[in-house]
Copies of this chain bind each other. A is one copy, B any other.
């Protein structure tokens, strides 16, 4: 059976799950969530995921939420991209969640998808300061190795890159981080790789920003 993934193009968190399935050869189909018109906060979506977030994965009666949980499930089911040390892979998933994507997603949202007048003062600058420390950890880590958690790509790579291919500016410039830059090139050279806007439905050209989220 084909897995379903509730997602939308702008979501780096959904991208992590979609990219993992795509590269692992796990058959899946997207279910578009109209986030920018509030669908993720609707009662129907909250019934699917009370956390009010994409991605949501469903297959054969199993429903999973949180990108890392979906990534781990797909890696275990397909036998691909777990890496040789699950703890090492897992710790970078956690790092990504609270220090990298957990700040990059909100920073990008504030700076690109909210009208300037609705941006909470100082928030994006604060997030960018924290992000700089996270980029430095990752860039230093990649200065001596090709991939984050093993000698080959793992779901940790597909997590940490979640927001780093998007074109909207949020303070991340590949030129500032040469090892991250090289590693992103290596990810996008993997067979089957797709940019988030090519992998999932919906992108900024579809609409104007309408709602805080």
Contacts and interface: CB of A to CB of B under 8 A. Distances in A.
A34 B69 CA distance: 34
A97 interface: yes
A64 B50 contact: no
A90 B102 contact: no
A30 interface: no
A52 B66 CA distance: 25
Given A66-B90, A102-B102, 7 more contacts: A67-B94, A69-B94, A72-B90, A98-B102, A122-B122, A123-B123, A123-B126
How many monomers of this chain does the complex have? 2
Contacts of A72: 90
A94 B91 contact: no
Contacts of A94: 66-69, 97
Nearest to A101: B98
7 contacts: A50-B141, A66-B95, A68-B94, A69-B87, A98-B98, A121-B121, A121-B122
B97 A102 contact: yes
Interface string A125-145: 110011001000100110000
Contacts of A91: 64-66, 69
A98 to B, nearest CB: 4
A137 B66 contact: no
The 8 A-B pairs at the shortest CB distance, nearest first, are namely: A122-B122, A123-B126, A98-B102, A66-B94, A121-B122, A66-B91, A97-B98, A120-B126
A140 to B, nearest CB: 7
Most buried by B among A51, A67, A73: A51
